[in-house]
């Protein structure tokens, strides 16, 4: 790995109803060393109290992905969409030329935890789009969002891909980037990557490294793997 981003070094914003950890600069958290990687601009690990959420606000020209870990998101937007996204599902919204949306905890009593991910698009000014799905794991590495919607994944307006990596305890997997850039975000469990130990909330970038063997720890590993353009 060429860069390790430990969970405890992330930015943090706590508003009472929201506790958020920022892998990259976001809102009031600014770190010029962590502005994103390639076209990946945001990974926020958000925990929202029951009945609370983000009121209507606007976005434009951004690919916004939500991966729900606990609870469910209630989504509304200015195009008329109104959906609930439960744990285990992935949602993709292309803000396009402009959209207003809100995201609330669908429960008044249980907490909501989700990863909010922003990826810069390779087209601008398009009509807003929305889709969500539950994508079952197929093997160790499963596509969730890809540029062409391959293998049942959601689609993305960028030459990039988001994959879910799941390993059983002691199982190994080799990440490969070829001429591209890769970024790993650990959701749960742990893994050894060479001499580095990765745990929940940690991130790791492959910029010059072409291959990296991961060996899952005693609790296995669940992570998101981002396949990103190198020259950007």
Alpha-carbon torsion, ordered 70, 76, 81, 86, to 10 deg: 10
Task: Report residue 5 as tokens.
Answer: 């981003």
CA distances from 182 to 11, 14, 80, 137, 170 (A): 21, 29, 35, 20, 23
The answer to whether the beta carbons of residues 184 and 190 sit under 8 Å apart is: no
Return the sign of the alpha-carbon dihedral for residues 119, 157, 154, 74.
positive
- pLDDT of 167 reads 98
Tell me how many domains the chain contains: 1
Q: Is 1 a domain residue?
A: no
Q: Is 62 a domain residue?
A: yes
Residue 15: CB partners within 8 Å, gap ≥ 6? none
* CA–CA separation, 90 and 133 (whole Å): 6
* CA–CA separation, 3 and 232 (whole Å): 18
**Band of residue 11 on the pLDDT scale cut at 50, 70, 90:** very high
**Band of residue 231 on the pLDDT scale cut at 50, 70, 90:** low
Kindly report, residue by residue over 78-122, the tens digit of the pLDDT. 999 999 999 999 999 999 999 999 999 999 999 999 999 999 999
Kindly report, residue by residue over 27-67, the tens digit of the pLDDT. 999 999 999 999 999 999 999 999 999 999 999 999 999 99
- pLDDT of 119 reads 98
Task: Report residue 21 as tokens.
Answer: 């950890």
* Domain coverage including residue 106: 10-135
DSSP class per residue in 45-113: EEEE-TT-EEEEEEE-S-EEEEEEEESEEEEEETTS-EEEEETTEEEEEE-TT-EEEEEEES-SSS-EE
- pLDDT of 132 reads 97
Kindly report, residue by residue over 150-191, the tens digit of the pLDDT. 999 999 999 999 999 999 999 999 999 999 999 999 999 999
Q: Is 64 a domain residue?
A: yes
Burial (CB count within 10 angstroms: exposed 0-12, middle 13-18, buried 19+), residue 123: exposed
Q: Is 197 a domain residue?
A: no
Q: Is 44 a domain residue?
A: yes
- pLDDT of 135 reads 97
Q: Is 45 a domain residue?
A: yes
Indicate which CATH number applies to the domain containing 98.
2.60.120.10
User: Quick check: 220 pLDDT over 90?
Assistant: yes
**What percent of the chain clears pLDDT 90, i.e. is strictly above it?**
99
Entry pTM: 0.96
**Band of residue 232 on the pLDDT scale cut at 50, 70, 90:** low
Q: Is 131 a domain residue?
A: yes
DSSP state of 222: E
CA distances from 107 to 53, 63, 66, 72, 154 (A): 10, 26, 17, 7, 26
- pLDDT of 46 reads 98
CA proximity to 68, closest of 115, 102, 128 = 115
Q: What value does the mean pLDDT take over residues 207-226?
A: 97
Residue 107: CB partners within 8 Å, gap ≥ 6? 50, 51, 71, 72
Q: Is 163 a domain residue?
A: no
């Amino acid at each position: 790995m060429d860069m390790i981003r430990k969970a405890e070094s992330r930015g943090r914003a706590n508003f009472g109803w929201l506790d958020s950890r920022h892998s990259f600069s976001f809102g009031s958290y600014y770190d010029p060393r962590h502005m994103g990687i390639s076209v990946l601009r945001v990974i926020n690990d958000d925990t929202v109290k029951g009945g609370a959420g983000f009121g209507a606000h606007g976005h434009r020209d951004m690919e916004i992905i939500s991966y729900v870990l606990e609870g469910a998101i209630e989504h509304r937007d200015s195009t008329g969409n109104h959906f609930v996204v439960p744990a285990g599902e992935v949602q993709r919204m292309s803000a396009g030329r402009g959209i207003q949306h809100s995201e609330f905890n669908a429960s008044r009593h249980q907490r909501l935890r989700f990863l909010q991910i922003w990826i810069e698009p390779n087209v601008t000014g398009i009509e807003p789009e929305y889709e969500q799905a539950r994508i079952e794991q197929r093997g160790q590495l499963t596509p969730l969002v890809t540029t062409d919607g391959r293998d049942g994944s959601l689609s993305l307006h960028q030459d990039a891909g988001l994959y879910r990596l799941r390993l059983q305890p002691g199982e190994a997997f080799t990440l490969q980037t070829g001429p591209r850039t890769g970024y790993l975000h650990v959701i749960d469990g742990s893994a050894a990557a060479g001499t580095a130990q990765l745990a929940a909330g940690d991130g790791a970038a492959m910029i010059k490294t072409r291959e990296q063997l991961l060996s899952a720890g005693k609790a296995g590993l669940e992570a998101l793997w981002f396949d990103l353009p190198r020259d950007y």
